[in-house]
C-alpha cells in the first residue's frame, strides 16, 4: 500500500494546449481521492499521467517512495478501470482477469485462486466462462473492477467508471465501490465529472477547472466552505444561487433584494460582491422571521419531486431556486416570502471570485 505524491505537475500538449497546471496533491495511504470537474478540466490527464499513459511535461509523481516519472505503466504497480471497461473482447471473463497475472508470470494455481477470490467478492463467479459481449453493462463493470483487484496493486485508478451505466445501476455500483474500497484498503484515485459521485465516494475531493486545482478537501468541507465561486456552484445540486450585490451600510442590496449583512462582512461597505445562497438554505418565511432576513418574489415554476419541492423564482432578473419541504403548498405565479439564514450566506469577490 502506498501514498501518491504529485508535485508541480504540468502537461503541455504539442499543439500548445496546457491541460494540467502546477498540480500539487498528496494522496494518503488507503485514501479514496476523487478528482472532479467539468470536461476538459485536466482531471483525466492527471490520472493518465499517474498511470504512465501520458508523458509528464514537468513536475514529479511519486508512488510510495519511488519517483515514477519515467517508469512504464507496467512497472508502477497500479491498476486502472476505464470508462468503456476496455475488456479484451476475444478473451473470456476468467482470461480477462487472469491476463495481468499471467503477464507477471504468476503460477497457474495462484492465478486461479486470486481470480476466484475476486469473482466471489464481486459476485461474478457464474460468468467466468463468458465473453464480454455476453455480459450486461453492470456485469462488464464488475469484470473491469475484478481485473483490477486480482493484481493487488498499490494504487487503483478509476477513470469515470460509472458513466456508461444507467442511473439506477450507477447508484448501486457507487455503493459497491465504496464497500469494496473499505474492504481492500487500497489507495484509490477516482476521476468523475459527477459531483454526487465525488461527494459520496471520496474521503477527500479535488475540484479542478481549466487545469488548475480549485480546492482540495473533505466532501462536507467543500460543501460548507467553498474556496471560490466555481467550487460553490459545482458542488451541490441544484447548484448555488448567485446574485451580484452591493454592500451598502449594513445592507446587502440588489434589484429586488435587501438583506441585513452578516457581521463578518458588514465592514466592507461600498464593495461589489456576489452573494451565494444554496437552494436548501432558503425556506418559506414564517411570522417569526424579521423582514431584514427575507426576500420577496413570485414563483415561476414549481417542481414537486416528492421528497422535496423546487421553487423557481427571480430576484430582479436573476433566476433562482429554492428547495423547500414537500409539505409546502405553493402554486405558480403566487407571491412568496423566503427566509435566508445569515450564517448560510456565501460572499465572493467579483474579480477573483474567491470566497470571503
Residue numbers at the binding site for another protein (CB under 8 A): 51-53, 72-74, 76, 78-80, 82-90, 99-100, 103-104, 132-133, 140, 147, 151
Shorter beta-carbon distance to another protein: residue 118 or 338: 118
Closest approach of another protein to the CB of residue 272, in Å:
47
Burial of residue 259 (number of CB atoms within 10 Å: 0-12, 13-18, 19+): buried
Closest approach of another protein to the CB of residue 306, in Å:
37
Strands (E), the chain: 4-12, 18-27, 32-36, 58-63, 66-67, 78-81, 155-159, 187-192, 204-209, 212-217, 241-248, 251-254, 257-260, 272-277, 282-284, 294-304, 309-315, 318-324, 335-340, 345-349
Shorter beta-carbon distance to another protein: residue 144 or 243: 144
Closest approach of another protein to the CB of residue 76, in Å:
8
Closest approach of another protein to the CB of residue 159, in Å:
9
**Cβ pair 41, 211 in contact under 8 A:** yes
Shorter beta-carbon distance to another protein: residue 155 or 243: 155
Shorter beta-carbon distance to another protein: residue 143 or 206: 143
Closest approach of another protein to the CB of residue 259, in Å:
51
Alpha-carbon distances, residue 235 vs 104, 128, 211, 324 (angstroms): 41, 39, 18, 19
The 10 Å Cβ neighbour count of residue 150 is 25
**Alpha-carbon span 175 to 165, nearest angstrom:** 14
Burial of residue 179 (number of CB atoms within 10 Å: 0-12, 13-18, 19+): exposed
**Alpha-carbon span 112 to 69, nearest angstrom:** 33
**Cβ pair 309, 330 in contact under 8 A:** yes
Shorter beta-carbon distance to another protein: residue 88 or 267: 88
Shorter beta-carbon distance to another protein: residue 157 or 232: 157
Vertex 175: Cα angle to 28 and 97 (nearest 5): 75
Closest approach of another protein to the CB of residue 241, in Å:
39
Shorter beta-carbon distance to another protein: residue 67 or 103: 103
**Cβ pair 195, 160 in contact under 8 A:** no
Shorter beta-carbon distance to another protein: residue 78 or 254: 78
Closest approach of another protein to the CB of residue 182, in Å:
24
Closest approach of another protein to the CB of residue 78, in Å:
6
**Cβ pair 5, 62 in contact under 8 A:** yes
Amino acid at each position: 500500500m502506498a501514498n501518491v505524491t504529485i508535485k508541480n505537475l504540468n502537461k503541455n500538449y504539442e499543439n500548445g494546449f496546457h491541460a494540467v497546471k502546477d498540480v500539487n496533491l498528496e494522496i494518503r495511504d488507503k485514501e479514496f481521492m476523487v478528482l472532479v470537474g467539468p470536461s476538459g478540466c485536466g482531471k483525466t490527464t492527471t490520472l493518465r499521467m499517474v498511470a504512465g499513459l501520458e508523458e509528464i511535461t514537468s513536475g514529479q509523481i511519486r508512488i510510495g517512495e519511488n519517483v515514477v516519472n519515467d517508469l512504464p505503466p507496467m512497472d508502477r504497480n497500479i491498476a486502472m478501470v476505464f470508462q468503456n471497461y476496455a475488456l479484451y473482447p476475444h478473451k473470456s471473463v476468467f482470461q480477462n482477469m487472469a491476463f495481468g497475472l499471467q503477464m507477471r508470470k504468476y503460477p497457474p494455481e495462484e492465478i486461479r485462486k486470486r481470480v476466484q477470490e475476486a469473482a466471489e467478492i464481486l459476485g461474478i463467479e457464474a460468468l467466468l466462462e463468458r465473453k464480454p459481449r455476453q455480459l450486461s453493462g453492470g456485469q462488464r463493470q464488475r469484470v473491469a473492477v475484478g481485473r483490477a483487484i486480482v493484481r493487488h496493486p498499490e494504487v487503483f485508478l478509476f477513470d469515470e467508471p460509472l458513466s456508461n451505466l444507467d442511473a439506477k445501476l450507477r447508484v448501486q455500483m457507487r455503493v459497491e465501490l465504496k464497500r469494496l474500497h473499505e474492504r481492500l484498503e487500497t489507495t484509490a484515485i477516482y476521476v468523475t465529472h459527477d459531483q454526487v459521485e465525488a461527494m459520496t465516494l471520496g474521503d477527500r475531493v479535488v475540484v479542478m477547472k481549466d487545469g488548475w486545482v480549485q480546492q482540495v478537501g473533505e466532501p462536507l468541507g467543500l460543501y460548507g466552505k467553498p474556496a471560490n465561486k466555481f467550487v460553490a456552484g459545482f458542488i451541490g445540486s441544484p447548484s448555488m444561487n448567485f446574485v451580484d450585490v452591493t454592500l451598502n451600510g449594513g445592507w446587502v442590496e440588489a434589484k429586488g433584494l435587501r438583506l441585513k449583512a452578516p457581521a463578518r462582512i458588514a465592514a466592507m461597505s461600498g464593495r461589489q460582491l456576489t452573494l451565494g445562497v444554496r437552494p436548501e438554505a432558503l425556506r418559506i418565511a414564517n411570522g417569526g422571521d424579521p423582514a431584514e432576513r427575507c426576500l420577496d418574489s413570485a414563483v415561476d415554476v414549481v417542481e414537486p419531486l416528492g421528497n422535496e419541492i423546487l421553487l423557481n423564482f427571480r430576484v430582479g432578473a436573476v433566476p433562482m431556486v429554492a428547495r423547500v419541504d414537500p409539505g409546502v403548498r405553493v402554486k405558480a405565479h403566487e407571491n412568496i416570502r423566503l427566509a435566508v439564514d445569515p450564517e448560510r450566506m456565501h460572499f465572493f469577490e467579483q474579480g477573483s471570485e474567491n470566497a470571503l
